[in-house]
Amino acid sequence: MLDVIIALLPTTAAGVWFFGMPAVWTVVVCVSTCLAVEAMCRLAMKREGTIGDFSAVLTGLLLALNLPAGLPLWMAAAGSVFAIAVCKQVFGGLGYNPFTPALSARAFMLISFTGAMTTWSNPAGYESVTGATSVDAVTCATPLAVIKKGDVSQLTSLKSFLLGNIGGCIGETCAVALLIGAAYLIIRRVITWHIPVSFLATMFVFAFFKGGVPPVLHILSGGAILGACFMATDYVTSPITAKGKLVFGVGCGLLTMCIRCGGGSLCVYPDHAGALLSAD
């Protein structure tokens, strides 16, 4: 758990750099609420405390990184309560939960607080997804939202996607930071390459044959890297064997692309697709 927390520090730092204090407060509220709820649940169930295993900290951090900056803090707290109490402790605690608590909580929040969960802030003072600049954080569209509207030409260069100065969730925008964290986990043998590589490779191949949008754009947009490297590799809910991990990763990649391209809206605008790849 501690290794995963360490691996998430680069993308957390990037999120704070780009989104400022709203990102800080979201992380603080999610982590502290998860810790408090974990302690209260264990006490209520008259079971041994589990604060020291860092799993509640990790759940809070992962949830925060999957939320938009500026989300009302009470919503972040509500999602944290749901993650620990409903998605984890009600099943018996760590090792017994059938679903990843942070992801389940995000799904709950997306249904319960749809408007707030789909309102994004552009990083203050940095290039927006459409190439515009801003002095203050403003409401903006994420890269996937821009593509869905059908104008790939409005997207800025791949450099912005790699560095993270685009709209999105706190921890999903900086691909470089996420890949550094993933490399750390693989080197430390906390995770293996099977799920992340098969997940992202499947997305790439699917997008390549579907056409319309550069496959690399699908990899760098949204929460693909965060999901493939830090969520799908969850110890409790992911397969154990290498073959199982490969099958699981392929399934996750296919499901992701079917959701993105099910209606064709993300994959049918080829006119300006090359412009993004040719930009610096």
Q: What is the pLDDT of residue 138?
A: 47
* The predicted structure's pLDDT at residue 217: 82
Give dist(CA 171, CA 63) in Å, integer: 9
Exposed / middle / buried, residue 134 (Cβ in 10 Å: 0-12, 13-18, 19+)? middle
Question: Quick one: average pLDDT of 122-148?
Answer: 52
Which pLDDT band, with edges at 50, 70 and 90, does 144 fall under?
low
Tell me the mean pLDDT in the region 170-187: 93
Give the residues across from 216 on adjacent strands: none
End-to-end CA distance of the chain: 37
DSSP 239-258: -SSHHHHHHHHHHHHHHHHH
- Per-residue pLDDT reduced to its tens digit, 28-86: 999 999 999 999 999 998 888 888 889 999 999 999 999 998 899 999 999 999 999 99
Least confident range from 82-86, 88-92, 170-174, 260-264: namely 260-264
The model carries a pTM of 0.82
Are residues 127 and 265 in contact, defined by beta-carbon separation less than 8 angstroms?
no
Q: Encoding tokens for residue 79?
A: 């999602």
Instruction: Count the helix, strand and coil residues of the chain and give each as a percent rounded to the nearest 5.
Output: 60, 5, 35
Residue 141 confidence (pLDDT) above 70: no
Mean pLDDT of 164-189: 89
How far apart are the C-alpha atoms of 8 and 169, rounded to whole Å? 14
Cβ count near 78 (within 10 Å):
17
pLDDT tens readout for residues 87-120: 999 888 888 888 889 999 999 999 999 999 988 7
